[in-house]
Amino acid sequence: MANLFFYGTLRHLPLLEIVLGRGRETLDLTPTALPDHEVRGVAEGPFPTIAPQAGARAPGVLLRDLSPEDIARLDFYEGSFAYDLAVVTLENGSEAQVYFPQPGLWTAEEPWSLEDWERDWGALSCHAAREVMSYMGHKDRETVARMFPMIRARAAAKVNGARSKHGANTLKGRVDVARVDRVYANFFALEEWHLSHETFAGGMSAPVERAVFIGTDAALVLPYDPVRDRVLLVEQMRMGPLARHDRAVWQLEPVAGRIDPGETAEGAARREAMEEAGLELGRLEPVAEVYASPGSATDFFHIFVGLADLPDAATGVSGLDAEHEDIRSHLLDFDALMALCDRQEAANGPLVIAAYWLARHRARLRSAGGNATSG
């Protein structure tokens, strides 16, 4: 049996329970500290690192009598972050093992606070840990480490979902989930849910199976210049039309991108406008918060119109090489945009939503003139 000392996120008991796969009532936990070490946050993520520091004290908990299965689960989870075990002597005289980061892996910043982390990241980290641990025995830890940015993005979407604005005048019914099978996971995921749900007539439905595409939350923004009365659209090759055998595989769209964990929808819209089109946006006008296809996918869209200065030179080819983006931008006068929609030649749902929203609010935006593009 082994003893381990935890100084960071695994002091959060809900997370520790998920990683170990058992309840806190089965755990032998003792508060203590590791002398001559300090715990600091890292620039690369909302988690801590630990390093020797004479005279410092790293508070934490000692967990005794861990089984080989416990250690294997902890190694799988911590291994995704490139942490390895080493033996230390604690403040209370006990000997224990501690997960230390590989040298030079993280950039240490300010002292780390468990309370702050629990408030800001605890729920997201628990969702992410459930997915990580579901891969034990199926994927190696290096593969999970490569997947982790999308695992965190999927976890962030679940946290955001608990704060959604919609749902008025709908049934707050019961759903009994028998099991969930994740049949594919990489950049996206696909799950099969086995469930029954409350019906409008009362009682529960017969058992049903439903497949769900697991995506993330995204920000989409249609840049609009109220002075020149024009918009900017981006064009890129899209997999949906390709797989559907659409004759038009390159599509016109608003600027769009995933909302990163800890990022606001507004912040993501501004970041994506700069990455995809080199645009600095002024005021953002909220248009809609909607599911892309609620019958089969978790993708959730925050749609904006972003006021911007769009001279003739605003177009070009851009995108991030690291994300294999090849994006061309186009300028369309407002009338040309509406004609595109009226002819049903705009195949992108958020673009059509933003265009018709703009048609309704265009006079208000134009009445502000050049001042409308300020933040």
Look up residue 46 and give its amino acid: P
- 131 flagged as catalytic: no
Question: CA–CA distance from 86 to each of 92, 101, 198, 331 (Å)?
Answer: 18, 10, 52, 59
Question: Regarding beta strands 2-6 and 95-101, do their DSSP bridges make them parallel or antiparallel, or are they unpaired?
Answer: parallel
Tell me how far the alpha carbon of residue 214 is from its chain's centroid.
Answer: 11
Bridging pattern class, strands 189-197 and 45-66: unpaired
59, 361, 62: which is closest to 222 by C-alpha? 361
With b meaning 16 or more CB within 10 Å and e meaning fewer, what string describes 195-212?
A: bbeeeeeeeeeeeeeeee
- Active-site position among 91, 323, 325, 345: 323
| Cα–Cα nearest to 303, from 217, 212, 188, 215 | 217
Q: Are 106 and 42 in contact (CB under 8 A)?
A: yes
Spatial CA neighbour of 307 closest among 242, 248, 366 = 366
CA angle 78, 84, 87 (to 5 degrees): 120
How many Å apart are CA 36 and CA 54, to the nearest integer? 5
CB 31 within 8 A of CB 59: yes
**Torsion sign over Cα 105, 107, 111, 116:** negative
DSSP SS3 for 306: strand
DSSP-derived letter for residue 198 is B
First CA to last CA distance, the chain: 59
Helix (H, G, I), strand (E, B) or coil at 16: helix
Q: What are the residue numbers of the active site?
A: 323
